[in-house]
Structure 1
Amino acid sequence: MPFCQISLRAGKPEADRQAILDNLYKAFRETLGVPEGDQFMTMTEHDAANFRYGNAFGVTRSDDLVYIAITVFDTRTPEQKKALYKRIAELLGESPGIRPEDLFIVLTGSAKENWSFGHGVAQFA
């Protein structure tokens, strides 16, 4: 049950934005075993004045940078996380053609009791 928030510079074609959403979902399904239909993602676009980045950690980024913040249950193994990062880079490299240097991914684990999937109920508490 990933919750994914994507941030990027404004102006990308709709086809590129849809490819990002579709391929993230595909990566979740392939590496984390996310069930069919389990899609909880948002995308926000920012003008240049409200979108900053640096070239820290020896990575030369461009204005095509995409921030991906993923929150999942805290039960994911390091191997699953590594597989997810790799698969995201592969799929988004294929379509819409994002360079791996332009992917900044943060994955946060959260205890199951911290989630409510609707009706004001903590389904796993």
Structure 2
Amino acid sequence: MPLLRFDLIEGRNDEEIQDLLDAAHRAMLAAFKVPERDRYQIVHEHKPGQMIVEDTGLDIPRTEKVVLLQVTSRPRTREQKETFYRLLCEELEKTCGIAPSDVMVSIVENTDGDWSFGRGRAQFLTGEL
């Protein structure tokens, strides 16, 4: 937790995807102060033309390297979110050559009772976490 879902246009190789996931994890560790092994990431690849990511009228250019990231997480502060957005763009640009204009993020918040990490229990509620 958090759960990160990446939507990408297909065409990256396995190493490029791993670099992207590692970069996002570094940003998550720094911004949200989660444990190192708190890593849940899913990649969905789409054919060109099956993913449209426009700019809401902000004049933000997009390329075939666009990354749409949905983060499902317990509530985070405004400062944590803004730090994550900044660090994510820095890491992706440095590691993967992805321009900050190609990074879009949506954070969906939920509560402790919305998580079960296995064994049929809600570990945040039971005190296991």
TM-score (norm 1): 0.93
Aligned to 1:35: 35
Secondary structure class of the residue paired with 1:23: helix
Is 2:7 the partner of 1:7? Answer: yes
CA-based RMSD: 1.1
Secondary structure class of the residue paired with 2:119: coil
Aligned to 2:118: 118
Secondary structure class of the residue paired with 1:49: coil
In structure 2, runs of 5+ residues without a counterpart are none
Q: CA deviation at 1:124?
A: 2.5
Matches within 5 A, 1:38-77: 38-56=38-56, 57-74=58-75, 76-77=76-77
Report the identity percentage.
Answer: 30
Q: CA deviation at 1:49?
A: 3.1
Matched AA of 1:58: D
Q: How many residues align?
A: 124
Q: Structure 1 runs of 4+ off > 3 angstroms? A: none
Q: Verify the 8 A CA contact 1:3 1:72 in the aligned structure 2.
A: yes
Q: Distance in 2 between matches of 1:54 and 1:25?
A: 25
TM-score (norm 2): 0.91
In structure 1, runs of 5+ residues without a counterpart are none
Secondary structure class of the residue paired with 2:15: helix
Deviations 1:10-37 (A, max 9, x none): 0112221111100111111111111021
Q: Distance in 1 between matches of 2:19 and 2:10?
A: 15
Q: Verify the 8 A CA contact 1:16 1:95 in the aligned structure 2.
A: no
Q: Verify the 8 A CA contact 1:59 1:101 in the aligned structure 2.
A: yes
